[in-house]
Structure 1
């Protein structure tokens, strides 16, 4: 597909921070903000396509899924140069509309992309913008994507089917699909174990799947619309954002037990209307590999909740653009 530079794109920025940065996709503003991990101050801003939903980072590049909105599906990816040497550019996906889940393959040359409108998983060469493979996912809309540690298998959740699929990336074909739970959405592979964890938002559960046959090893309660799953770098803790309950569930990943449940809404705060009504609506979550912190995007409050992992408490609130969702961390240069 065609790749083009956004000569008028917004890419005003200062030099990259030595300790890495937090990238925040602001869905209602069509921007990606760069925040300092020292104190949350805004370091700069990129323009994305319409409705940025997910962000993937590899080295000096970040790619944003331009999902669109309910009336106008998006069909592009925005590629950001994190060293600010050039303007953002876009990769056109043609008939493959509503790109959402993103994961770089090992080596950083290719990117996996779920496209809800065409029910495919794409392999995209980021440098050229060419679609290398179009992998049909069958009935239902693939939403999030995760990757095995060796890069041989991808996993895709389907909200409308409540299922988890496995894709063989050697043959570029779907090889299995199993039931997870109603509204299967959040998805992550636990470091060191290969387990696939799925947040089933309508069921209020997290299912833990065996990487060999996708069978369910455990089902954990996470009430209140569990929408995203992430892990600490060591795989010790699973982090699940519960959008309706405005909480973060923290699980001991080895024992499959609840470690903490953290309230994320501010008492007395005036949140705006969201897809779940007037609410805090936490969505994106990411664990800092260098600091004992977790960051959660509070979509209804235009802020990041910063959580201290030593005490499992919210210790700071960082302002963002309108309707933050996707989060990603950049590595120190």
Structure 2
């Protein structure tokens, strides 16, 4: 078996990042407890077992989080509405049942918000589909099939498009966020789209190709994608505030690559920590945050200098980071809650 094949198989297993053998815990009622401080204030609270990703709604001032536990048939999964101030679960919405005999549900993993239409989009990785929920009441609105091992989803509100990545067959699929109809599908043979980011000014979507150590760039009117270099095992991608630079979290290398999108080259490679799994940008400062799942911390990078400026406590196994209004929310899959729940950490960032 080749080294590349081994890496793809290892990465595919980590792409789902489940808490196997656990049960979905009920919504936490405990008061958020402070975690060790390293620079900015850090607040931690238990949410549920099997946390995967989160997304922040500016319209509703809500943090949405996904949770799914175990291997198929998955019977414990929820879309969680979290108060970003108290970090308490305000409501938990169970996905629809797909198999009444086993109790399997359409388990949710990736998540993105569409504040324009007041909806939440999720990837249902095990069911090769994506789904849309109402932000108002958490009601399941529709399921859209045909996205093989859908891992991440991102919403371009300006162009009314939701992009999903088919990790299983190398596809990038676009949906109209108003009609929820598929509008575009591009397949890159042999690729494994993992992380997604979109430039809302141009409508260009960027996907990390975990199998090919590159970024796939697809503009709205292009018939074929362009390819840009990245690091070893790129699994997540974020863009600079001006959209001219991409940052990839390279899982295999434990680094973040700084990629000049116009020149099409990596300008800096910053060691962050083992198992770099998720990357996000702070629009206020332009700094880049990388959640290092194996190292168990959150790295703050100055991308201009290519240096690590802070290393923050974010739980033993940080799985995903999202940033809004100068605050980072980190999902931690460590089962460190009082009843074995996974946790969320809120970190106030420095300017």
TM-score, normalised with respect to structure 2 = 0.76
Superposition deviation, residue 79 in structure 1:
1.2
Quick one: distance in 1 between partners of 2:208 and 2:87? 38
Superposition deviation, residue 129 in structure 1:
1.7
Quick one: distance in 1 between partners of 2:223 and 2:248? 20
Quick one: distance in 1 between partners of 2:119 and 2:201? 23
Superposition deviation, residue 107 in structure 1:
3.7
Residue 100 of structure 1 aligns to a residue whose secondary structure is coil
Name which of 300, 309, 329 aligns with 2:303. 309
Is the Cα contact below 8 Å between 1:284 and 1:325 reproduced in 2? yes
Unaligned runs of 5+ in 1: 15-32, 266-279
Name which of 270, 285, 291 aligns with 2:285. 291
Is the Cα contact below 8 Å between 2:52 and 2:66 reproduced in 1? yes
Which runs of structure 2 are paired with 1:251-330 in the superposition (5 Å)? 251-265=259-273, 280-330=274-324
Higher fraction of helix? 2
Asked if 1:75 corresponds to 2:77, the answer is yes
Residue 117 of structure 1 aligns to a residue whose secondary structure is helix
Quick one: distance in 1 between partners of 2:147 and 2:80? 27
* Paired residue total: 292
Residue 48 of structure 2 aligns to a residue whose secondary structure is coil
Q: From the superposition, tell whether residues 78 and 7 of structure 1 become closer, same or farther in structure 2 (CA, over 3 Å).
A: closer
| Corresponding residue number in structure 2 for 1:51 | 50
Quick one: distance in 2 between partners of 1:139 and 1:80? 27
| Corresponding residue number in structure 1 for 2:167 | 159
Is the Cα contact below 8 Å between 2:110 and 2:122 reproduced in 1? yes
Is the Cα contact below 8 Å between 1:188 and 1:198 reproduced in 2? yes
Quick one: distance in 2 between partners of 1:264 and 1:299? 11
Superposition deviation, residue 173 in structure 1:
2.2
Q: From the superposition, tell whether residues 283 and 313 of structure 1 become closer, same or farther in structure 2 (CA, over 3 Å).
A: same
| Corresponding residue number in structure 1 for 2:64 | 63
| Corresponding residue number in structure 2 for 1:269 | none
Superimposed CA distance per residue, residues 88-112 of structure 1 (whole angstroms, 9 cap, x where no aligned partner): 4211113343312211113472111
Is the Cα contact below 8 Å between 1:304 and 1:319 reproduced in 2? yes
Is the Cα contact below 8 Å between 1:294 and 1:306 reproduced in 2? yes
Asked if 1:130 corresponds to 2:124, the answer is no
Q: From the superposition, tell whether residues 91 and 151 of structure 1 become closer, same or farther in structure 2 (CA, over 3 Å).
A: farther
Superimposed CA distance per residue, residues 40-91 of structure 1 (whole angstroms, 9 cap, x where no aligned partner): 332x223222221111001321011113244773421111111339644211
Residue 127 of structure 2 aligns to a residue whose secondary structure is coil
TM-score, normalised with respect to structure 1 = 0.79
Asked if 1:187 corresponds to 2:189, the answer is no
Residue 110 of structure 2 aligns to a residue whose secondary structure is strand
Is the Cα contact below 8 Å between 1:295 and 1:304 reproduced in 2? yes
Quick one: distance in 1 between partners of 2:290 and 2:192? 21
Is the Cα contact below 8 Å between 2:31 and 2:45 reproduced in 1? yes
Quick one: distance in 2 between partners of 1:122 and 1:182? 23
Quick one: distance in 2 between partners of 1:101 and 1:215? 25
Superposition deviation, residue 302 in structure 1:
1.0
Quick one: distance in 2 between partners of 1:88 and 1:11? 13
Which runs of structure 2 are paired with 1:171-250 in the superposition (5 Å)? 171-180=179-188, 181-213=190-222, 215-216=224-225, 218-250=226-258
| Corresponding residue number in structure 1 for 2:30 | 10
Superposition deviation, residue 206 in structure 1:
1.0
